[in-house]
Structure formats: structure tokens, C-alpha cells
Amino acid sequence: MGVINGIDLGALVAVVAVLWKGNPLLGLVVGAALAVNTVVAVAIGGSVPLILKSMRMDPALASGPVLTTMTDMCGFLLVLTLADQFMPHLLS
């Protein structure tokens, strides 16, 4: 389900970016970053509570901050890395 949600959300944001700015490559960068970030968030969201439970910690208390922090860091890394890689083509 995470992969399907990631692809759907990425495609939707890519279409909006293309319609808004008229640059298909920008849509690809933003859409791919969101798609991958959604899949990463689902993977982290499923594994962090299990890891915390195995460490005898309360998953309900720590999962939220850990999940939010890791997802935000991955999202920034993804969008900035993709934008950096495609920057020469985005500016032209």
C-alpha cells in the first residue's frame, strides 16, 4: 500500500507542478521525491514501533517523534539531492 500511495501522491504532485510552472522536469523531481519519501515513511512507520518494542520501550510514546524526524530528514535529503542533480536542466 505504501508503494501505491507513494506513486499516486508523486504523480499527483508532479502533474500539479507541471501545470503550475510548465516544467515537466520539475514535476519529475518533486513527484519522485514525494513518492520515494512516502515509501520511506511507510517503511519507517512500520519498523520503528517493532524495534522500540523489542528494546522494551513504549512504542506509542517514541514512535511519533522518531518517525517525524526521520521522515523529514529523508524528505529534505531526497528533494535537495534530486534538485541538485537536475539543476542545470531546471534552470534552462
Q: Where are the domains of the chain?
A: 2-87
Residue 64 neighbours by CB distance under 10 Å = 12
Average pLDDT rounded to a whole number, residues 18-45:
91
Q: Which of 50, 29, 27, 34 is nearest to 2 (CA)?
A: 34
Q: Tell whether the torsion through CA atoms of 76, 82, 87 and 92 is positive or negative.
A: negative
Q: Which of 31, 34, 43, 33 is nearest to 2 (CA)?
A: 43
Average pLDDT rounded to a whole number, residues 56-76:
88
The model carries a pTM of 0.82
Query: Are the C-beta atoms of 27 and 17 separated by less than 8 Å?
Result: yes
Q: Which pLDDT belongs to residue 66? A: 85
Average pLDDT rounded to a whole number, residues 23-34:
91
Strands (E), the chain: none
Task: Reply yes or no on whether the pLDDT at 15 is more than 90.
Answer: yes
At a CB cut-off of 8 Å and minimum separation 6, what does 3 contact?
39
According to DSSP, residue 55 is labeled T
The CATH architecture of the domain made up of 2-87 is Orthogonal Bundle (1.10)
